[in-house]
A and B are shown apart, each in its own frame.
Chain A
Amino acid sequence: MMTNVATGSPAQGGLVQSARGLLLTREAGVFGALLALCIVFAIASPVFLTGQNILNLLRQISLLGVLAIGATYVLIISEVDLSVGSLYGFAGMVGGLLIVSGVPEVAAILITLTLGLAIGAMNGAITVAGRIPSFITTLGTLYLIRGATLVMSNGMPVSLPHGQGAAPILTGLAQGSLFGNLSNQVLVLIVVAVLGFFLLHKTTFGFHIFAVGGNDRAARIVGVPVSRTKIIAFAIAGLLASFAGIINFGFLENVQPVTGIGLELDVIAAVIIGGTRLGGGEGSIPGTLLGVLLIGVVRNGLILLGVTPFWQTTLIGAVVLTAALIGGLTSKK
């Protein structure tokens, strides 16, 4: 209802300021929900607030966070990328197969990331050039990439040979910890988040992302390179999905042909919970991180309480709906 008042009197700066503040409030809302959940879990389970558990929790959400940052770009331009779960599995498989077959690790990583970037860009290019809704494009590539993973692996998992230090960089990134007990995966997320934040909120490219998401016809008239901006957004999502996928391989030291199935939905859920508008034009990296954290806390807390995974899934559904409702009811009209 606040917003109604604010939009009602555009002449008054103060009120409009409060409407501007809405974005902040929305993030504050997620933050509040997060705090509330943490308090509940802290009371219900003595383990929840222990350092070990918190470190664990952060590690568990890191890769989801990396994927979600990529998805934030795509969702702000009012598109969607359903293929990131497949790409996550595919990247692990490609990287794993290359390393296992003796390709130097650095080369394997670069090849995998390049492939991820290229596939993401392809999602964007097909969407733009073919004038297809990205929902359809990436639904197609979701199957294509998963199929390629299955074909490549012949349906079999791939594992790193044990105890030979076969992939020191990946295992180091995924399993090591530079600072005390803090997993390097968390550092990876922090670096990606900082870069992602800078790119989205401080560069011209990020400015264009919001413009395209707000009104892509007007963006074209104003001279924003709309197609290029869209393709780059998809490429970023692809790059980050393959990056997360290959780190996951480094962590587990093996990859299944079914790794990452359904992951795209977790990713979208996290971004939406974090306040990004599905209709495009609004969203932020801090919001997305909060969304990821919220999902992580729900999962972690429920496990500690001994709740079955089935109920976890149910609760995450409720969280997504609640977040969407809050977003819908607080946005004007």
Chain B
Amino acid sequence: MTSMLQLRDLGKSFGSFWALRNVSIEFKQGEVHALVGENGAGKSTLIKLIAGVYQPSEGAIIGPLGTELKMKTPRDALSCGIGVVHQELDLFDNLTVAENIALGIDDSGFVKPSKDKMAARARKALDELQEQKILPSMRVGDISSSDKQLVAVAKVLTWDAKVIIFDEPTSALNAAEAARLLERIRHLRSVGVTVIYVSHKLGEIFSIADRISVIRDGTLITTRPVAEFDHEKVVDAMLGRQPAEIFPVQVKPRPTKEVLLDVADVHGRELAGASLKVRAGEIVALAGLPDSGPSSLLRHIFGMDHATSGTISISGRPIGRSTPRAAIRSGIAYLPADRLREGILPLMSVLRNAEATDEAMHASDGSTRRGKALAAIKRLSVRTSSILNRITSLSGGNQQKTLIARWLVMDPKVLMLDDPTRGVDIGAKSEIYHILRGIADSGAAVVFTSSDSLELARLSDRILLFRGGKIVDEIVRDVTHAELDRAISAA
């Protein structure tokens, strides 16, 4: 098979820190090549080098004709036939789906392409993903984050690139959507496209990859055909050790304690009569399709959206028309799904980000706060060369861990997390699971949603299944994630 892209001793440094060093990989025509590694290993950095977003500090990228590709801008990469779906979505909320898809490819003439032409291109791309519910005329700011991810993928599919790179494309997708994307990728491979695929979901990787490259601490550990790997070997190569049991041991049934969170017949945005009770010491998973209510319920409880009817009580006290500040004061914590827009404070350091809520609430004095923040950052093993670096210099997964640390500092009564391990590597996931279990064991209530059904099934004490804005089923017995996936798409 011919080589489409060859990395020769590629390296990239930020200041004195080498995010990537001495990496040599050959990507062949028509293969799906998976890149795996822990958070902060350097996967996105590698991709940004190939995409022309960063320039290599050393080494070279060689094209199919054996010549060095010098890509100064993403547009250069595109003209070399390289298309990228980036990890942090590069979409425009103020533009329509059609305009987002046209931008960057259909915009070389003086006159802007007509609405119809853009819509046709978008329709075709969305059809390839069998995506009917997204319309070209929708404003991207109005669609859900999983739909955004699909738009980002659809956009790159229209580029007719010879090499397509996906950086965690399914992190916000549900099982059915992810399956359709994987099917699409198999098709791309069959027509000779080279696919570079980054994901923390090892199941996906085993189902589509031809070869796997493992990166650890910025260096290439190994590149081998998928047949020479199994789940354990990949994790071993990624971490350099085996993690402890990934999920904490489930003890069922839980002893009953007092009700901390009581939601009674709440109506509101995406909610049509949701009711639930969560007790101290338990972890409850909210499952369902993206718009069916789980995420929205968390936002209502946190006071970011307001119920039109129904009551929400914390420790027996109704919270009324709340604000996030009031919610925090009554002991609620909420980790939003949209890390970039609602989570990080991009101009501040890792440390300040971890301290931010405590500081804003004047919860503790300066030195206590610092102590707690340092402890939380340590407990979550956030990887960074210095905690005084800006949070935006961290890899995606480490940013997520910092945000969880922010809530650990607050010692909440009810911890709510909207897709907490999105983009988090398997080692860190396991750490987060054990930490969440620890928080529950120490008497808090934990409520979470997830796009990962394995996590819904294995981390929770019980699962509440949403359909059309209310809870239609409660699953207390053990379920496999496949059963759960079926239940979710049937719901």
**Interface positions of A (Cβ within 8 A of B):** 4-11, 13, 16-17, 19-20, 201-208, 210-211, 213-215, 217-224, 281-282, 332
Could you say which residues of chain A place their CB within 8 Å of the CB of B138? Answer: 10, 13, 16, 20
A220 touches B133 (CB 8 A): no
Interface stretch, picked from B9-17, B91-99, B309-317, B483-491, is B91-99
**A interface: dominant SS:** helix
A221 touches B53 (CB 8 A): yes
A211 touches B92 (CB 8 A): yes
Q: Which 7 A-B pairs have the closest CB atoms?
A: A223-B75, A281-B94, A222-B104, A218-B90, A214-B92, A214-B94, A8-B269
Flag whether B135 is at the interface (Cβ < 8 A). yes
B103 touches A16 (CB 8 A): no
Assembly CA distance A284 to B53 (angstroms) = 31
Rounded to whole Å, the gap between the CB of A201 and the closest CB of chain B is 8
21 contacts between A and B (CB under 8 A): A6-B142, A7-B142, A8-B269, A9-B291, A11-B291, A13-B138, A16-B135, A202-B112, A206-B112, A210-B92, A211-B103, A215-B90, A215-B92, A215-B93, A218-B89, A220-B73, A221-B86, A223-B75, A223-B104, A224-B103, A281-B94
Flag whether B364 is at the interface (Cβ < 8 A). no
B142 touches A224 (CB 8 A): no
A207 touches B107 (CB 8 A): yes
- Cβ-closest chain A residue relative to B114: A202
Could you say which residues of chain A place their CB within 8 Å of the CB of B103? Answer: 207, 211, 219, 222, 224
Assembly CA distance A211 to B112 (angstroms) = 13
B95 touches A203 (CB 8 A): no
Flag whether B22 is at the interface (Cβ < 8 A). no
Could you say which residues of chain B place their CB within 8 Å of the CB of A9? Answer: 270, 291
Could you say which residues of chain B place their CB within 8 Å of the CB of A218? Answer: 89-92
Q: A10-B291, A213-B94, A218-B92 are in contact. Are A223 and B112 (CB under 8 A)?
A: no
**Interface positions of B (Cβ within 8 A of A):** 51, 53, 73-75, 78, 86, 89-96, 99, 102-104, 107-112, 133, 135, 137-139, 141-144, 147, 269-270, 291
**Knowing that A210-B94, A218-B90, A282-B94 are A-B contacts, what are 4 other residue pairs whose CB atoms are under 8 Å apart, sorted by A's residue number?**
A8-B270, A210-B99, A215-B90, A217-B90
Assembly CA distance A16 to B92 (angstroms) = 16
B110 touches A204 (CB 8 A): yes
Could you say which residues of chain A place their CB within 8 Å of the CB of B73? Answer: 220, 223
Assembly CA distance A16 to B94 (angstroms) = 13
A19 touches B94 (CB 8 A): no
B139 touches A16 (CB 8 A): yes
Could you say which residues of chain B place their CB within 8 Å of the CB of A206? Answer: 112
Q: A13-B138, A332-B141 are in contact. Are A222 and B109 (CB under 8 A)?
A: no
A214 touches B270 (CB 8 A): no
Assembly CA distance A16 to B139 (angstroms) = 7
Rounded to whole Å, the gap between the CB of A222 and the closest CB of chain B is 4
Assembly CA distance A51 to B170 (angstroms) = 64
Rounded to whole Å, the gap between the CB of A63 and the closest CB of chain B is 29
Rounded to whole Å, the gap between the CB of B106 and the closest CB of chain A is 9
A223 touches B270 (CB 8 A): no
- Cβ-closest chain A residue relative to B268: A8
Assembly CA distance A224 to B105 (angstroms) = 10
Could you say which residues of chain B place their CB within 8 Å of the CB of A223? Answer: 73-75, 78, 104
Assembly CA distance A97 to B439 (angstroms) = 77
Assembly CA distance A213 to B103 (angstroms) = 14
